[in-house]
Structure 1
Amino acid sequence: MTQLTDPPTQITKTAPKQRGLEAFALRFANWMERWFPDTFAIVLVAVLVVGAGALAIGASPAEVSQSFGDGFWNLLPFSMQMALVVVTGYALATSTPVRRIIERIAVIPSTPRGAVAMVAFAATATSLLNWGFGLIFAGLLVRALGRRTDLEVDYRAASAAGYLSVGGPAMLGLSSSAALLHATPASVPPELLAITGLIPLAETLFTWQNLVMILVMTSSAVLIAWATAPRGDRARTARDLGVDLDDTVEADDEVRPGDRLGRSPVLTVLIGAVMLGWIWTTIHKVGVFHAISNLNNYLFIVLSLAFLLHGRPIRFVKAMTKAVPSVSGVIIQFPFYAGVAAILVTATNGEGKALSHYLSDFFIQLGGHAGLPLIVGIYSVVMGILVPSAGAKWVLEAPYIMGAAGDVHSNMAWLIETYSGAEALANLINPFWMLPLLGIVMLKARQIVGFTFIYFIFLAPITVLTFWALSFTFSYAPPVMP
């Protein structure tokens, strides 16, 4: 006799009615996911656009081609650094101690919106110490949140919030290449030093106005993250997207006696002691903040910690190897971006002027004493879209900008901060800096750019106008020569 039982209860996800920014963000993200081109196609179009611009100002086709080819490998060392940002960060995060810390942080939020907002805050806060650290930390926090089966976090929105590590106030912190350059006598080119003199960090990073900017940008980003995060059945989790979030790294069983060396902790302890000795000496010489502001130093510290925390060489190697496929975009695309930058600044016409010179003149001539900070902010965003490399561009463009600042008696220190903070916003719509994060979260640009573009839409006017308003609290300071 068959016994009848009540049918099992089916649990389904429900979602609140779409309203406001959430509805707009979801529609826009879905549209961008369908229509946003591949990141490699974007950089190829950038080559054509900048090349056409160079031809328009009078550069010859041969000059454009020469500039592109000569500059193609200019970012080769930086490309390697970016690849190492991903693989060393992944290796560090997959070590047992760090993985446990990140997982404990990931259990804090109790709602999907709260989780995305927490990623936004963590990304902006940690990036003030070092943008590379912020990028890695945010990406791995997103992965940890993606492993939660009880929260149903939209993995796309969380990943986009993690991108605020390079698209938020990072360049207003200790990663500010422009501010650090002007505070270091040996780093400032002589022709620029004659215009600006030395500008200490006390006049750039460590001002109350800069703190206000950080608070405005961070709080705005967190609110946008919270308001735009999809909920319920509209959220697409890491499982929905087919992302592999297994970060466990296990060594194979020993096969032969020769394998024991790579599985012994003795080598890790001895080599790790040498690494820690170098780190201690460097920090003792220059201080912890200056030590980590150098990207090579930062990478060495992360690699050393990953090596030590994995305990055995074989586990460290397996963790690094597992991350290598995720850096293919960096390896392939960064040389083309270098070619774009070279055309922009070295393909000159008969007057010896490059496209970057005309762009600088166009924007700077629009401003006076009161308008220059506003124009510099807008100009910085535009240039950041074309060439996403704040430090390299600043050395080329600073003579024009700072020369204009001296002519109209605008505060040079605040113009440095305006340029740095506004330039970072362009990263939200430029796939250049997105590639390392995409390697960590294992998504495509089209899957998160809809959300990052919304950050840009709101943060760009808020940031530029706040920089401009705060510029009225500064007075002109004559250059101080060393």
Structure 2
Amino acid sequence: MKKSRSEQVANWYSRYFPDAFIFALVLTIIAMLLSLFLTESSVGEVMDHWFAGFPWLFEFAFQLMFTYAAALVLVDTPVVQKYVKKTANLVKTPMTAYVTTSVVGALTSFIGWYIGPVVTAIFARSVGREIPGVDYRLISAIAYSSFTISLTGISGTIPLFVATEGEFTDVIGGIVGLEQTTFSTLNIVSAIAIIITTTIIYMVIAKNKTDIVTFHDLATPEFKAAEEQAGAVDPDESNVSVEEIEEKSFADKVNTFRPLILIVGIVGLVYLIYFLGREGLGGLNLNTVAFIALVMGLLVQKDAVSYARSFSKNLIATGSIGLQFPIYGGIASILVGTGLAATITDAIVSVSTEVTFPVLAFLTTGLLNLFVPSAGSQFTATATFWMPAAETLGVDSIRTIMAITYGDIWTNLIQPFWALLYFPILAVGTNLKVRDFMGYCLPVLIAVGVIWILSLLFLPV
């Protein structure tokens, strides 16, 4: 059957776009060459910056790896699988699955960029696995695209950065609260427009789809075999005889003693309730989410050894994060340390006007985001140039801050770095690759770009 235009684009992307790790290596070489040609840095200086930046994201990488491995342990347990199936069964059709994933993903991402990926990936995986006719590549793209408004939300790095007193307080003209950025008319209206537009785009793509590749089509032989074996075993029946139980050593009995893991889980849950009750939304961050995933897993796993075994197995799925994040740390260090980011920014500022400045700031930041997909690193590197230039041109500082924020998120739709937040959960047990679903994000990239440009030009802050 003749493929739709969106399928043709997605297939082209899958065929010609390299693996995410290759993408990171290519960007490293480009950053090195541009730094040598466009700045006064020597080869030795560029290499020093590369080496110095390599460990920048070590802590971040481990936080994510632990969080996703712990989340996968939770998903692996029979009790969670049962309730996941019940929830997925509320979604009756593929179209409902696509729309629900888009909305759930956007709302949870707006609440917390570290919450959205876990919740949305689990949900998309569940409905993709349970609902017949769901194209798993498409629903993976929808899950990832829902991340688009994450950094404009409550946990947005740049809005929180400018709302906190620090070394950049004077540069940005004082503290700028979330009510001026995250909850501004500009941001709320554009976020709603993006959710609606993105959902409609994916509905159209889904309606015109002719080539359906399901979760089970992508499942590995090992995963299928494990599923069949699990389905053949009645969890209420035990194959262990009384004699075998009596022959267990003391160590074996301790290892399989459920109250031990349950007590620690209950203690952790009680503290979480107290902590979040005291801190509210302000207490939610990546460390909190990691702790929640750990505690929930302890509460539902049958024993400590089973938990450790499941964690070790699922940690393998997070390997791409551990490998690629340090590579991007090196790229960020090159751009910041050599002054390349500032050089590019200066060139754009020199040809800007009061009207075009926010749009050019958005586009330039989008370009830089391909090399430095970290909002904090990029803002640190360029804010000292963007903010004074905005003041000189008479551009509102809040509009400038939001332009930088939007640009930093925008090109994530073609940059596979943040797809790694979803990939460990979506891909485990399958042959799914990042490039299999990134192509479906291209129409959304165009639509979101238009929405943010028009918002920056015409909406009040």
Query: Which residue in the other structure is 2:287 paired with?
Result: 296
Instruction: Report 1:31-430 matches (<5 A).
Output: 31-57=12-38, 58-96=40-78, 98-148=80-130, 151-166=132-147, 168-185=148-165, 188-189=166-167, 191-229=168-206, 234-243=211-220, 244=223, 256-285=249-278, 287-292=279-284, 294-310=285-301, 312-347=303-338, 354-430=339-415
Q: 1 CA distance for matches of 2:9 and 2:172?
A: 45
Query: Which residue in the other structure is 1:466 paired with?
Result: 455
After TM superposition, the score normalised by the length of structure 2 is: 0.88
Which amino acid in 2 is paired with 1:439?
Answer: P
Cα 1:403/1:56, change in 2 over 3 Å = same
The alignment partner of 1:184 has SS state of coil
What do the CA deviations read for 1:146-191 (whole angstroms, capped 9, x no partner)? 222x52111000001110243x111121121111122222xx22x4
Contact 1:213 1:467 in 2 (8 A): no
> How big is the shift at 1:284?
4.2
After TM superposition, the score normalised by the length of structure 1 is: 0.84
Cα 1:454/1:84, change in 2 over 3 Å = farther
Q: 1 CA distance for matches of 2:126 and 2:211?
A: 20
> How big is the shift at 1:311?
5.1
What do the CA deviations read for 1:191-226 (whole angstroms, capped 9, x no partner)? 443542111111111223322111011111111111
Unaligned runs of 5+ in 1: 1-14, 348-353, 475-482
Q: 2 CA distance for matches of 1:30 and 1:390?
A: 30
> How big is the shift at 1:436?
3.0
> How big is the shift at 1:97?
5.0
Q: 1 CA distance for matches of 2:327 and 2:75?
A: 30
Unaligned runs of 5+ in 2: none
Cα 1:466/1:86, change in 2 over 3 Å = same
Query: Which residue in the other structure is 2:439 paired with?
Result: 450
> How big is the shift at 1:231?
6.3
Q: 2 CA distance for matches of 1:416 and 1:311?
A: 49
Q: 1 CA distance for matches of 2:45 and 2:54?
A: 14
- RMSD of aligned residue pairs (Cα, Å): 2.5
Cα 1:410/1:100, change in 2 over 3 Å = farther
> How big is the shift at 1:88?
1.9
Contact 1:55 1:61 in 2 (8 A): yes
> How big is the shift at 1:281?
4.4
Which amino acid in 2 is paired with 1:334?
Answer: F
Which amino acid in 1 is paired with 2:443?
Answer: I
Cα 1:98/1:219, change in 2 over 3 Å = farther
Which amino acid in 2 is paired with 1:260?
Answer: K
Which amino acid in 2 is paired with 1:203?
Answer: Q
Q: 2 CA distance for matches of 1:363 and 1:88?
A: 44
Q: 2 CA distance for matches of 1:227 and 1:301?
A: 37
Which amino acid in 2 is paired with 1:139?
Answer: A
Which amino acid in 1 is paired with 2:202?
Answer: A
What do the CA deviations read for 1:353-384 (whole angstroms, capped 9, x no partner)? x1011111122333333222212211221111
Which amino acid in 2 is paired with 1:289?
Answer: L
What do the CA deviations read for 1:295-337 (whole angstroms, capped 9, x no partner)? 2222222222222233532333233223111111111111111
> How big is the shift at 1:414?
3.1
Which amino acid in 1 is paired with 2:164?
Answer: T
Which amino acid in 1 is paired with 2:250?
Answer: P
Number of aligned residue pairs: give it: 440
> How big is the shift at 1:259?
2.2
Which amino acid in 1 is paired with 2:416?
Answer: P
Q: 1 CA distance for matches of 2:415 and 2:178?
A: 29
The alignment partner of 2:111 has SS state of coil
What do the CA deviations read for 1:208-263 (whole angstroms, capped 9, x no partner)? 33221110111111111111127675111112223548787999977543222232
Q: 2 CA distance for matches of 1:171 and 1:252?
A: 51
Contact 1:75 1:335 in 2 (8 A): yes
Query: In percent, how many aligned pairs have the same letter?
Result: 25
Cα 1:108/1:364, change in 2 over 3 Å = farther
Contact 1:83 1:436 in 2 (8 A): no
Cα 1:110/1:436, change in 2 over 3 Å = same
Cα 1:424/1:102, change in 2 over 3 Å = farther
Contact 1:268 1:312 in 2 (8 A): yes
Q: 2 CA distance for matches of 1:381 and 1:452?
A: 15
